[in-house]
């Protein structure tokens, strides 16, 4: 973090700001990859998520939306830090409809080796799936990326019908 960098002997404020900015630029660059390749299945999304979340702290929650040919039409960072305060706004739902989104994937990272879903993860997934379903967007999966494992809600039949 910026504060941690400032505690390093010889570190200037400008250097700390520059280094902190590099991390954010790197994250945005990784996210742009979703626009270049079709994300045809959960496996492709999980691979993308592993790259996206490499060295990322705190937890982040993304929604990736695809058209009928599995090309990305929208990506949104829904939250940083916790699912508790995470919400898919009505304005964002309308934007997805306007971009012809047909499918969506939720991705987020856990800051531990295992990528097992919590009860909050399950409730959040059901809530988002319902909001998307109302406007005709199918939630295909919720991918959780840990340091050593990846979890797919679809693979384990955690997605509500």
Model's pTM, two decimal places? 0.74
Residue the block writes with tokens 């971009």? 99
What is the percent of the chain with per-residue pLDDT over 70, rounded to a whole number? 79
| pLDDT tops 60 at residue 2 | yes
Q: What is the pLDDT of residue 37?
A: 67
Tell whether the torsion through CA atoms of 39, 42, 45 and 51 is positive or negative.
negative
Query: What is the rounded distance in angstroms from the CA atom of residue 23 to the CA atom of residue 44?
Result: 24
- pLDDT mean over 9-38: 70
């Amino acid at each position: 973090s910026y504060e941690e960098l400032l505690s390093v002997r010889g570190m200037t404020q400008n250097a700390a700001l520059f280094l902190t900015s590099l991390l954010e630029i790197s994250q945005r660059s990784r996210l742009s990859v979703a626009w270049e390749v079709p994300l045809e299945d959960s496996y492709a999304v999980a691979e993308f998520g592993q790259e996206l979340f490499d060295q990322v702290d705190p937890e982040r929650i993304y929604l990736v939306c695809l058209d009928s040919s599995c090309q990305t039409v929208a990506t949104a960072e829904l939250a940083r830090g916790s699912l508790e305060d995470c919400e898919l706004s009505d304005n964002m739902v309308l934007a997805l409809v306007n971009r012809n989104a047909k499918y969506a994937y939720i991705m987020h990272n856990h800051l531990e080796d295992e990528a097992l879903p919590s009860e909050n993860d399950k409730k959040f997934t059901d809530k988002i799936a319902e909001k998307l379903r109302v406007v005709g967007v199918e939630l295909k999966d919720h991918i959780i990326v840990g340091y050593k494992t990846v979890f797919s809600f679809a693979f384990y039949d955690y997605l509500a019908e």
